[in-house]
Structure 1
Amino acid sequence: MLYWTLIFLVVAIVAGVLGFGGIASAASGIAKVLFVIFLVLFLVSLIAGRGFA
């Protein structure tokens, strides 16, 4: 999940540099959503791992 977040972040940066504002905005929005999902799943796995240890 973090891998895809970084890919969309790179796409957003490259699109922004090349002047494609709409694509950069969409890619950065997707990257933000994926990062939040990654954080939530990471915290859930940490909590679940401590509960069963």
Structure 2
Amino acid sequence: MLPPHYHPRATNFVVAVEGQTQTWMIQENGADPATTTLNPGQLTIFPRGSLHPT
């Protein structure tokens, strides 16, 4: 995993290929963190401006 970062001008899509990946994000508006575990074939979307580690 990468250190927490954000993309000010892009939305980020992450797809799990094998194994499990736990991930989280904090929305730009400061809402509570959203956490999830991705299994192979699942994806998550990190909206533009959200803080995330992957």
TM-score (norm 1): 0.21
Higher helix share: 1
Structure showing greater relative contact order (alpha-carbon pairs closer than 8 Å, 6 or more residues apart): 2
